[in-house]
Amino acid sequence: MISTNDFRTGLTIELDGQVYSVVEFMHVKPGKGSAFVRSKLKNIETGATIEKTFRAGEKVPRAHLDKRKMQYLYSDGEALYFMDEETFDQMSLSVEQLGDAVNFLKENMVIDVLMYKGRTIGVDLPNFVELKVVETEPGIKGDTATGATKGATLETGAKVQVPLFIEAGDVIRVDTRTGEYMERVSN
């Protein structure tokens, strides 16, 4: 059990049989009445977010997640296959289980697979990945004063908005949390 006074971003708790990660929290002490903690929680399995208010000092069960380093091997369209780096056991996860993470997985990439009570509930990607642009429209020379963007398709099939100077073949860094272009990586 953990006190709501000890909440911090990234902490995992169990609520109504589901595992949630604390995204935001704020301790509130009104002038009248008792203090409380307003929080925004993200369901680790479904990705849905909820807002919940707790009394200050209320105890909630902490969810202990096991992280296992696994290497992404390949996809057959319906499932993605991973290999445990220690035991070399292979396992598969469905596209639905991974959600948006599918857009940022490259073959041979090592990620953390999250396990809770012996079952797989998701993956923890690095914050940034470097991916190659395979298709984008040509930029118009001199049209950069507005900070305009254009669509680009990456090697994983993900679609992101990039600045006009990005061309097919460029390697870019993408934020896996938001799916946004960060910068071009020098070759």
Contacts of 131 (CB under 8 A, 6+ apart): 104, 106, 154, 155, 156, 158, 171, 172, 174
pTM value surpassing 0.75: no
The band of 127, judged by pLDDT with boundaries at 50, 70 and 90, is: confident
Domains and CATH numbers, the chain: 2-60 (2.30.30.30), 66-124 (2.40.50.140), 128-185 (2.40.50.140)
Q: Averaged over 155-168, what is the pLDDT?
A: 89
Cα separation, 174 vs 184, whole angstroms: 9
- Could you report the per-residue pLDDT of 14-73, keeping only the tens digit for each? 998 888 988 899 999 988 889 999 999 988 877 788 999 999 889 999 988 888 999 999
What's the chain's average pLDDT?
87
Q: Which two tokens stand for residue 112?
A: 């953390």
